[in-house]
Amino acid sequence: MPDELRGQRPTWAEIDLEHLEHNCRSIRRHIGVTTQMMAVVKADAYGHGAVAVSRRLQAIGVEWLAVALPEEGAALRDAGITAPILCLGGFWNDQADLLLQRRLTPVVYELNLVEELDAAAKMRRQSADYHLKVDSGMGRLGVPLEQLASFLSEVRKFTHVRMDGVLSHLASADLENHDPQTSRQGRVFEQAVRQIRAAGFQPRYRHLANSAATHAKPETWMEIVRPGAILYGLREDVLQPGGIDLRLEPVLALKSVIEQLKSVPKGSALGYGASFRTSRESRIATLPIGYHDGYPRALSNLGTVLVRGRRAPVVGRISMDLTLVDVTDIEGVRLGDEVTLIGQDGDQVILAEELARLSGTISYEIVCRISPRVPRLVRKTDAA
Ligand SMILES: *Cc1c(COP(=O)(O)O)cnc(C)c1O
């Protein structure tokens, strides 16, 4: 158990910033030097801890950071992050001034946002940059192509704002059999950019590529790519199979310890609803981690954890704060032993992707739902 956890429950996430840096450099080599990188650190850097992640990414020269909410951007500014920050989800009532104050660049997709930004900039006697989001076929945020002309003619009236970027988001770049949709979105985006330029706007940046497109669709790279998941080493449910191997390393591990260890007779019922009954005399370990911590309840009687480099199955229902595992077959197991729920122990590895597959979700949700109750510890390198 790490020293930092003295006086706390020993359940923690370990963040390996060397792996983050390795992944980032690998992506950089892949995209070359003419395309900038906008690292997506929304949702507390996909649960990895946005401040530590952003500091390292900024230190190794990532040009942009992207968050979902202005609040997330403000928290990074509070922590001393100076890199340009794009707020992907736009902004809400009365946040325009916050954007200017904290040097956050919003994405806009509705006229009222431009209007508010313009008013706030005017008050401050300055000019505010924004990136315009076009809906190229995802159907979520963005100005639809059919409404772009009228949007542009309205936007022109606001003199304290500048369209510095144009972006769109791909719906299915991770799915091989959806390549036609991805290409169609690319064409719609190109058409939108042509229309924007023809209307006299000169955005410096065009960006479209998420992780999957950064990996496999160079035609989408343009001035900036916006990878999120691959920075954190997620890949199996993020990227199309095949293509270049970016040699991504998982950045997050989730760990706990054995809090109680007991021998129970054959036929013992374990956990809520007695959903597991021992078929032999068993050694059962109780772990101080549950679904509130982000270990999905759907893994009840399905998941496995690593103890002493071996797999131990989750038995019974996962509860809010506690999980039971069967350690009967693990030799030498003791109270206080470290347990790996995500990560590597010896030659065994449990990826977030595995937990996702078993619990019917995607790796993104597994890592970003690790709750704030779980401290994030930056892993010390051997040299440190
Ligand atoms: C989250 C997000 C990304 C990053 O997606 P990944 O699949 O994690 O690379 C890129 N662009 C936008 C607009 C996003 O919301």
Residues 171-226: pLDDT tens digits? 998 898 888 899 999 999 999 999 999 999 999 999 999 999 999 999 999 999 99
Task: Please identify, by atom number, the ligand 1 atom nearest to the C-alpha of residue 42.
Answer: 1
- Residue 228 CA to ligand 1 centre (angstroms): 6
pLDDT of residue 355: 98
- Residue-wise pLDDT for 223-275, tens only, equals 999 999 999 999 999 999 999 999 999 999 999 999 999 999 999 999 999 99
Task: Check if 88 has its Cβ closer than 6 Å to any atom of ligand 1.
Answer: yes
Distance 379 CA to ligand 1 centre (A): 26
Residue 382: its pLDDT value, please?
A: 54
Residue 383 has pLDDT above 80, yes or no: no
Residue bearing the CA closest to ligand 1, atom 10: 210
- 169 CB less than 6 Å from ligand 1? yes
Q: Which residue has the tokens 């990826």?
A: 351
Average pLDDT, the chain: 96
Cβ 233 under 6 angstroms from ligand 1: no
Give the type of residue at 43: A
- The atom of ligand 1 lying closest to the CA of 214 is 9
Spatial contact of 224 and 38, defined as CB atoms under 8 Å apart: yes
Counting ligand 1 atoms within 8 A of each CB, the residue from 210, 220, 248 with the most, and so the one to mutate, is: 210
Band the pLDDT of 1: cuts 50, 70, 90. Answer: confident
Q: d(Cα 180, Cα 183) in Å, to the nearest integer? A: 5
Percent of the chain with pLDDT over 90: 95
Angle of the 50-59 helix axis to the 17-31 helix axis, nearest 10: 50
Q: What is the pLDDT averaged over residues 322-330?
A: 98
Q: Does 132 sit in the ligand 1 pocket, CB within 6 Å?
A: no
**186 Cβ closer than 6 Å to some ligand 1 atom:** no
Residue 296 has pLDDT above 90, yes or no: yes
pLDDT of residue 384: 44
Query: What residues are annotated to the active site?
Result: 42, 272
Q: Which atom of ligand 1 is nearest to the CA of 169?
A: 13
40 lines ligand 1 (CB under 6 A): yes
Q: How far apart are CA 243 and CA 12, in angstroms?
A: 34
Q: Does residue 90 have its Cβ closer than 6 Å to ligand 1? A: no
Pairs from 244-249 (Cβ < 8 Å, separation ≥ 24): 244/30, 244/215, 244/216, 246/23, 246/26, 246/27, 246/30, 246/215, 247/22, 247/26, 248/23, 248/26, 249/16, 249/19, 249/22, 249/23
Global pTM reads 0.96
pLDDT tens digits, one per residue of 59-109: 999 999 999 999 999 999 999 999 999 999 999 989 999 999 999 999 999
